[in-house]
Homo-oligomer: A and B are copies of this chain.
Amino acid sequence: MTAGPAAVSASGQEDTRTRLLATALRLFTEHGVEGTSLQMIADALGVTKAAVYYHFKTKDEITGAVAEPGLRELDLVVAEASRLRRRGAQVDHLLTGFVDIVVRHRTLVALFSRDPGVTRALTDSWATRENFSVRMMEIFTGPEGDTNRAIAAHAAITGIALTGGAPQFADLDDDTLRAHLLDVGRRLLGRPRRVS
């Protein structure tokens, strides 16, 4: 008996929950959080609305559960970067970590980079998307508060997130996408680039 993630006693439950979250993410990406109803999620899963409510008490809870893994990883990477001594190392660590999260989650980071519905749903449970944005901007921009750097950093974050989640690049394998997104970040943040 190989223990699955968080080894559930009864089988199937964790699977339905996972399928539900994957379906919700897909629909959220396609129609936006506010544009996606519980009915749409239920229909796509082939179950009823009430079945969805068995797994999650509210729609906001679904939104939170969809966003959680990405936000958790992002939180970790930002914290790690903050602890580094040299600023160049901070920027490099945050950039590579951020790009890696974008690539592995694809549409998810793009979703909460742009959807007001996600922010609204998470204002209580998480410290808001804006908080991540601010902390990342501080590291990328540096203490000087230079406007040009701030705008470049903002463009890097949004550009990487939305491009990594764009459907037209969905076919690219992780390594290829990661390399190109890193290149985007290095250009905008003024970091040394590898051979392209």
Integer count of this chain's copies in the complex = 2
Question: Assuming A114-B114, A158-B158, is B32 touching A152 (CB within 8 A)?
Answer: no
Nearest-neighbor residue (CB-CB) of A183 within chain B: B148
Q: How many residues of A contact B (CB 8 A)?
A: 38
CB 8 Å contact bits of A162-196 with B (1 = contact, 0 = none): 11001011001000110011011001100000001
Please, which residues of chain B bring their CB within 8 A of the CB of A188?
159, 184, 187-188
Nearest-neighbor residue (CB-CB) of A30 within chain B: B116
Give, as a whole number of angstroms, the nearest-CB distance from A36 to chain B: 9
| Assembly CA distance A179 to B176 (angstroms) | 31
Q: Is the CB of A147 within 8 A of B163?
A: no
Give, as a whole number of angstroms, the nearest-CB distance from A167 to chain B: 9
The 5 closest A-B pairs by CB, nearest first: A159-B159, A155-B159, A34-B35, A114-B114, A34-B34
Most chain B beta-carbon contacts within 10 A, residue among A31, A162, A166: A162
* CB of A71 closer than 8 Å to a CB of B: no
